[in-house]
Amino acid sequence: MSAHTLLPHGVMLKLGICDQNGSCDENANKAMIDADKVRQGAHSYFHNYTQLYMMSRGNCNISVETSQLGGAAGADFVALLTPVSGCAGASAIGIMLMTDNNTAMSAAWRRFGKISTTRSTMTGTPDCNKHPCGVDAISVSADGKPFAGTQPKPDAADFLLLDLSQPAAFSTGQKRSVAQVSEEKEFLQ
């Protein structure tokens, strides 16, 4: 429930929590729903705004709000992860996935490519040699307090971490601050 495919690029962005001990809950999945670790919040009629609450194994409870700005395909995507309770020492994690083969589950819309990561940005670059794609690279930027705790152990190699002592933001297109993402997602509620 907290994984989003950025179209038309075919890049998956997973949002989650890493606890103080380094264990990560990288996606709000069925097992977490069954264990009452995920509950749905507000959603707009056109699904251009969503909210859910997610609790990690270490009981860090966060609100995850997302918006597709303007509600149009290919428009910028923003996400705001806000700590609710029990998040001392925890981090917000954003994981970008793209595949370079036909068997991986992250080959959304049969788009293939590579992910590269810097300190505050992940970029998915389509491989247009495998399939004609007609799309450029897409970047996800992060804003918030840098994470300085124990390095977590997520399943993916390409991820961004932010401290969950305060809200954390992820955005495509232009880099946006936590305040900008908060203002923009409220516009669509």
Q: Residue 80 domain-assigned?
A: yes
Question: Would you state the pLDDT for residue 188?
Answer: 47
Which of the two residues, 72 and 114, has the higher pLDDT score? 114
The yes-or-no verdict on residue 81 having pLDDT over 90 is yes
The Cα–Cα gap between 94 and 16 comes to: 7
Q: What is the mean pLDDT of residues 52-80?
A: 83
For 130, counting Cβ atoms within 10 Å of its Cβ (0-12 exposed, 13-18 middle, 19+ buried), the class is: middle
Q: Residue 30 domain-assigned?
A: yes
Q: Residue 89 domain-assigned?
A: yes
Q: Residue 102 domain-assigned?
A: no
Q: What is the mean pLDDT of residues 75-92?
A: 91
What domain range includes position 149? 3-95+143-187
Per-residue pLDDT tens over the stretch 11-23: 888 888 888 888 8
Question: Would you state the pLDDT for residue 189?
Answer: 45
Question: Would you state the pLDDT for residue 104?
Answer: 53
Q: Residue 125 domain-assigned?
A: no
Reported confidence tier of residue 95, pLDDT bands at 50, 70, 90: confident
Percent of the chain with pLDDT over 70: 77
Q: Residue 126 domain-assigned?
A: no
Assign 6 to helix, strand or coil: strand
Per-residue pLDDT tens over the stretch 24-57: 877 776 666 666 677 777 777 666 788 888 888 8
Any residues with CB less than 8 A from the CB of 48 and at least 6 apart, and which? 67, 68, 69, 70, 71, 188
Question: Would you state the pLDDT for residue 25?
Answer: 79
Dihedral angle computed from the Cα positions of residues 41, 179, 91 and 62, in that order, rounded to the nearest 10 degrees:
-20
Question: Would you state the pLDDT for residue 31?
Answer: 67
State how many domains the chain has.
Answer: 1
Q: Please, what is the average pLDDT of the chain?
A: 80
For 25, counting Cβ atoms within 10 Å of its Cβ (0-12 exposed, 13-18 middle, 19+ buried), the class is: buried
Q: Residue 159 domain-assigned?
A: yes
Q: Residue 49 domain-assigned?
A: yes
Per-residue pLDDT tens over the stretch 134-153: 678 888 999 999 888 777 87
Tokens of 153: 């152990």
Reported confidence tier of residue 170, pLDDT bands at 50, 70, 90: very high
The yes-or-no verdict on residue 105 having pLDDT over 60 is no
How far from chain centre, in Å, is Cα 120? 13
Tokens of 6: 């950025």
